[in-house]
Structure 1
Amino acid sequence: MKRKMKWSMLLLLALVLVLSACSGGGNDPAPSGNASGGEQTDTNAGDKKENVTIEFMGHGNPTEKSIFEKLIASFEAKYPNVTVKYTSVPPAEYAQKMKTLIASGKAPDVFYVGSAEFYRFAEAGTLLNLQPYLDKTDLFNPDNVWTQALDRYRYDGTSIGAGELYGLPKDVGPWAFVYNKDLFEKAGVPVPSAAAGEWTWNDMLDAAKKLTVDENGDGKPEQYGVGAYSLESAVWGNGGEFIDYKTGTVLVDQPEFYEAMQFVADLNLVHGVSPNQEAEQAMNAYTRFINGQLAMFAMGPWDQPAFWELPFGWDLAAWPASPNTGKTATWLGSMGFGVSAKSKHPQEAFDLASFLSLDQNGQRENYQLGQAVPNLIDMANGEFMEMDKSPENRQVFMDIIQEYGRPDIPYGSKDTQWIDTFWQNASKVWNGEMTAKDWTAQIKPQMQELYDKNNK
């Protein structure tokens, strides 16, 4: 009898314990996904993740803002425990806005960073070292990401271009030469070559003269042959340099430089095939091209969404080569994603930056929306090249990245006053007040002084 009572008590105790376990107990956290803000369960990893909100700030035109809103929605679908508060500010206001936020200790978790900003932020300890996070993710295969992009975001404690990654590339931006196919066809002018070195300054000038139209002869053409020609392309193609970053020597007073600058100035001053400063202020070259009033211009991949809507055909060509060297060049820009070293949610911030930069689905959506050439090399060489949208000569983007694109001038500077001074005063050449030779000799000492003061 006692034995029966003993087993009955044991069975009753076991039943109570089972029922207690099934009920979850009074001290367990709220069920996953409840309205009270309890933890979410990651069904892939089997562990619970806290709901967090991170801030992301960038800049750009309305098209870019719309694209990133879509990309962020895709990120939030992949990481349902993370909410992204996205702010897009006008490009002209971005630098000051970031400076203010950083100084007040309110930097966004993720933000755009590029060129001189990256150098300053990395040196100041503003940026989180992303290498430990990259080492733990399957997203990152350094052999499948453009070295030309990654190296822009490396910092070894003293200089950029080497060391660990303190940023991830938002893009790698080839600045390409674009032309209006309809205007070329109407004028009976052969279109420029997409192969580097086959079309020279002389070929471009000859075409531009035939494509410049002044119907009433008032000296103010209704249609120009070329606009906003890239000085960097002309200088680099001619064998010149703005600066030797290894020695910190400004080189704008060298013949290879000022001869190229004079060529660009003379497109308007001598040949009248490019808008002068007054005409540019009345209607900038971008608007003229969009309106079908400019035959040759420049574009980056981010211009594709707007250009896809144009009522005329357009395509890419290689930048005209210098007849002195036979070489072609242009700048290869890049903007990066930085993560604040003070972020309270560094893993989630890294997850956003890596999704926007490295995730295959994120990169696919990005290029299909027309924002950029994929950072992933296999995707860029594969499906990106197979797109059925303009430009037909999409290979030009790839050639610039792999062959003749160069980092934009400020990338190696902590302070850009030296090059800002150049651009702010270059109008003396553009309006014919001084020759390029005389002006560069005059401005070089001032540029050198500013570079030495703020960068060495």
Structure 2
Amino acid sequence: MKALREKPVPPSSENTIDFLRRGTSVRPASTIPQQGKSRTRLPEGTRIEQKERFFLFRFGKRLLFLIGLVLSVVFLQACSGSAGNTAKVKLTMSAWGNPAELKVYQKAIDAYMKENPEVDIELIPIASDGYEQKLMTQLTGNSGADLFYVGAEYMSRVVEGDAAEPLTSFLNSEESDTSPDAYAEGLWGAAKKDGEIYGVPVDCNPLVMYYNKDLFKELGIKTPQQYYDEGKWNWDAFKEVTTELKKGGKKGYIQENTLQQVESWIWSNGGSVYDDNGQLVLDKNKEAQEAIAFMNSLVQEGNAVYAGTLPEGQGLDAMFLSKQVGMISAGRWLTPMFHEAGVHFDYIPWPTNTGKKTEPVAIPTAYLSVNAHSEHKEEAMKFLSFYVSEAGQTARLSGIGNAIPSVTGIDDIVTDEPPHTDYMNEARETGYAHGTPQSKSALTPGLVNELQDLYEVMLLGKASPEETVEKVVKTIQSMSK
């Protein structure tokens, strides 16, 4: 008789689960071939054919691989997004300044970074001597800091060379912390051309004269303030004071060849290099020519010393600190240094020769610009707008700052130290910045430096005032065409 076939035995659920976990077939121990025994063939429906097992095995591995790949991509994207949110934008800003001034700049930088922790700003100090040359070299080579200070006397070179990013659109947007109408029109100078803004006045520094109160007291000399209170602070009084200082073994005054000082002497006599419309009048203006001759006589007669002849390392600030000179002229930028050194000094307006107590003076102004080649222009413009805004200037200039505000309405932040800080505020209202019609030379790239070289030759005693005026007029005419 034929052997009866056993009834099919379905695989248990436990074996099935085990199969899925291990990716192998489920086979009862009784069906495993053993040596010397015939193989038992499972009934149909009780086994998974080899091809099916292979398919399921490959499919399972691929499925697990795909799931792992997707999870890895999601994880990396999440990490990338997180890193992007915390990565800092790094900006650099170059500026000149003495150690005390650099501390002032840093105040505004720190204030901005505190409110914007995603931004890191590095201040890069560059020596005042040679700053213009180094800056222009960097900008010409499409390098340099993201933001940079620019002197008013060479702002036109920066604009002409397309080195500064246009700012008008941003300053008029909601993203900006300030707006163009917050600044006096007379402060823009060469930073504004054809209605476009390329730099914003960081603050301003109307020229005044400094005098060492202790030195005047020690020598028993009548102070400039006493002359001023009597309504007699004029050229004659200035010459008397510097003569007395010289008798006391000191330098009376240090005269520089900067166009700002030269123009201040010219205006103190009611003279003009340019009229209110920007037309050259120096060749016909006797008051201007007389002022240039007076300035030169101070040096040639020993009442003043030309700064260009001072020993190496002996600038006018060092001379003032060491009581070697009684009077110098500058903006507020020297005030923090003198205050930290404990010098007792005060301001006095520029002496006049018109019968008036004051006349216009030059207003040295620096601008902050954004590098046209910066990789972070948007963030740089945001910081610029804060740095020059009311908030930024308050952070920098409150108390013993290095300038007075270029925006209106916050004059009260400037501490009355020295006592007559108000002289500087008053000078801001009547003075002229480089690039205004009355100080038009700064609008022509390179002209300011050429004129200063001519005045240096005169102050060194190598040219007469008359020869100097003639050369100045010809230089202006030839370079302004």
Inter-CA distance 177–39: structure 2 relative to 1 (3 Å threshold): same
Query: Are 1:227 and 2:264 counterparts?
Result: no
Task: Report the Cα offset of residue 292 of structure 1.
Answer: 1.5
Most deviating of 139-148 and 77-86: 139-148
Kept in 2, the 8 Å contact 1:410–1:416? The answer is: no
Task: Report the Cα offset of residue 443 of structure 1.
Answer: 5.0
Hey, what does 2:198 align to over in structure 1? 166
Hey, what does 1:208 align to over in structure 2? 242
One-letter amino acid of the structure 2 residue matched with residue 354 of structure 1:
S
Q: Could you tell me how far apart the structure 1 residues matched to 2:103 and 2:164 are?
A: 26
Q: Could you tell me how far apart the structure 1 residues matched to 2:109 and 2:145 are?
A: 15
One-letter amino acid of the structure 2 residue matched with residue 414 of structure 1:
T
Query: Are 1:393 and 2:420 counterparts?
Result: yes
Kept in 2, the 8 Å contact 1:195–1:318? The answer is: no
Hey, what does 1:38 align to over in structure 2? 84
Task: Report the Cα offset of residue 235 of structure 1.
Answer: 1.0
Hey, what does 2:78 align to over in structure 1? 29
One-letter amino acid of the structure 2 residue matched with residue 319 of structure 1:
W
Hey, what does 2:282 align to over in structure 1? 251
Task: Report the Cα offset of residue 331 of structure 1.
Answer: 0.8
Q: Could you tell me how far apart the structure 1 residues matched to 2:340 and 2:208 are?
A: 19
Identity in percent: 22
Q: Could you tell me how far apart the structure 1 residues matched to 2:88 and 2:277 are?
A: 47
TM-score normalised by L of structure 2 = 0.72
Task: Report the Cα offset of residue 260 of structure 1.
Answer: 0.9
Task: Report the Cα offset of residue 116 of structure 1.
Answer: 4.7
Tell me the secondary structure at the aligned position of residue 410 of structure 2: helix
Query: Are 1:344 and 2:361 counterparts?
Result: no
Match of 2:222 among 189, 192, 197: 189
Tell me the secondary structure at the aligned position of residue 260 of structure 1: helix
User: For residues 120-159 of structure 1, what are the alpha-carbon distances to aligned partners after superposition, in whole Å with 9 as ceiling and x for unaligned?
Assistant: 3334433222222222146225554343334553221xxx
One-letter amino acid of the structure 1 residue matched with residue 137 of structure 2:
T
Q: Could you tell me how far apart the structure 1 residues matched to 2:329 and 2:110 are?
A: 31
Q: Could you tell me how far apart the structure 1 residues matched to 2:130 and 2:251 are?
A: 32
Kept in 1, the 8 Å contact 2:101–2:336? The answer is: no
**Superposed counterparts of 1:5-84, under 5 Å:** 26=75, 29-30=78-79, 37-40=83-86, 51-84=88-121
Work out the number of aligned pairs and report it.
Answer: 398
One-letter amino acid of the structure 2 residue matched with residue 378 of structure 1:
G
User: For residues 343-365 of structure 1, what are the alpha-carbon distances to aligned partners after superposition, in whole Å with 9 as ceiling and x for unaligned?
Assistant: 33222101121121115155333
Larger Rg: 2
Hey, what does 1:422 align to over in structure 2? 451
Hey, what does 1:180 align to over in structure 2? 212
Inter-CA distance 422–164: structure 2 relative to 1 (3 Å threshold): closer
Inter-CA distance 198–79: structure 2 relative to 1 (3 Å threshold): farther
Name the Cα RMSD after superposition.
3.3
Inter-CA distance 94–268: structure 2 relative to 1 (3 Å threshold): closer
Inter-CA distance 99–210: structure 2 relative to 1 (3 Å threshold): closer
Q: Could you tell me how far apart the structure 2 residues matched to 1:416 and 1:248 are?
A: 19
Q: Could you tell me how far apart the structure 2 residues matched to 1:190 and 1:247 are?
A: 37
User: For residues 154-209 of structure 1, what are the alpha-carbon distances to aligned partners after superposition, in whole Å with 9 as ceiling and x for unaligned?
Assistant: 221xxxxxx23222112212111111222333414143366897521112112222
Hey, what does 1:296 align to over in structure 2? 327
Q: Could you tell me how far apart the structure 1 residues matched to 2:128 and 2:306 are?
A: 25
Task: Report the Cα offset of residue 236 of structure 1.
Answer: 1.6
Task: Report the Cα offset of residue 264 of structure 1.
Answer: 1.4
User: For residues 24-47 of structure 1, what are the alpha-carbon distances to aligned partners after superposition, in whole Å with 9 as ceiling and x for unaligned?
Assistant: x74753398x6xx3314xxxxxxx
Query: Are 1:383 and 2:410 counterparts?
Result: no
Q: Could you tell me how far apart the structure 2 residues matched to 1:245 and 1:383 are?
A: 32
Q: Could you tell me how far apart the structure 2 residues matched to 1:346 and 1:120 are?
A: 21
Structure 2 residue ranges without an equivalent (≥5) = 1-73
Kept in 1, the 8 Å contact 2:210–2:348? The answer is: yes
